[in-house]
Structure 1
Amino acid sequence: MKAARRWPIYLLILFFTLVLGLSSRVFSSSLPTWIAAYAGDTLWALLVFWLVGLLRPNWPSERVAAIALGFAFGIEISQLYQAPWLNAVRATTLGSLVLGHSFLWSDLVCYSVGILVGYLLERRELLSAKS
């Protein structure tokens, strides 16, 4: 698909994804266990997909997905490095949300699913203007 992304729609869906992701953390005790465990990471990766797509509106969906997946996996792998200065950043709210705390294989699956959802939505041409 070679189409420019509609940035107003992207901003709206980015905001909606952000609210859902934060809500999945805040209200985790009210959610079913498996949703509370995996929704936040899946939505975080979807948010990364939307951000890359928003920043690079003319990139094909495949490239956006590859860059978003590489970024998400890189962040997860960085959690294997536990330097004091980096843990201090992770101790902040924003640092925790962006960088996480400890490596989990299940997070890689969540990231893959989240980015796949974004990719499939784009491929359905729901979010792009035809060229």
Structure 2
Amino acid sequence: MRLNLMSVFVNDQRAALAFYTDVLGFIKHHDIPLGAASWLTVVSPESPDGPELLLEPAGHPAVKPYRDALVADGIPLVQFAVDDLEAEHRRLTDKGVVFTMPPTDVGTAIIAVIDDTCGNLVQLVEAKPAADAG
């Protein structure tokens, strides 16, 4: 079993596509019209055949209270791994991305949280090398 598709609810699919591709650096994978919305997915350029992230319309009535509660509590909806969080922090800050939590050392990783401009908080994580056991 492996991960194939995850979704993130977005207020506006076109704005989300611009943010996730032009700002974060993902690549558009599928853009299939389905009435007023699209089956719209992005993938990592580091793994173009890997898991897809569905930019799913946030129209369902349960989505708004769910996301509002997560944001109010500072809980990210999704997490992305990065190799160098300090470099990503500089790159994204230069692009105008709002960090709700700057890079923070939490022991086993360095984490930061950004606002994806689409109604979600996104956590960025740089894992630290495991300490030698012996």
Which category describes the TM-score, using the shorter chain as reference length?
under 0.3
Higher strand content, 1 or 2 = 2
Q: Which has the higher contact order (CA 8 A, sep 6+)?
A: 1
Higher helix content, 1 or 2 = 1
TM-score (norm 2): 0.27
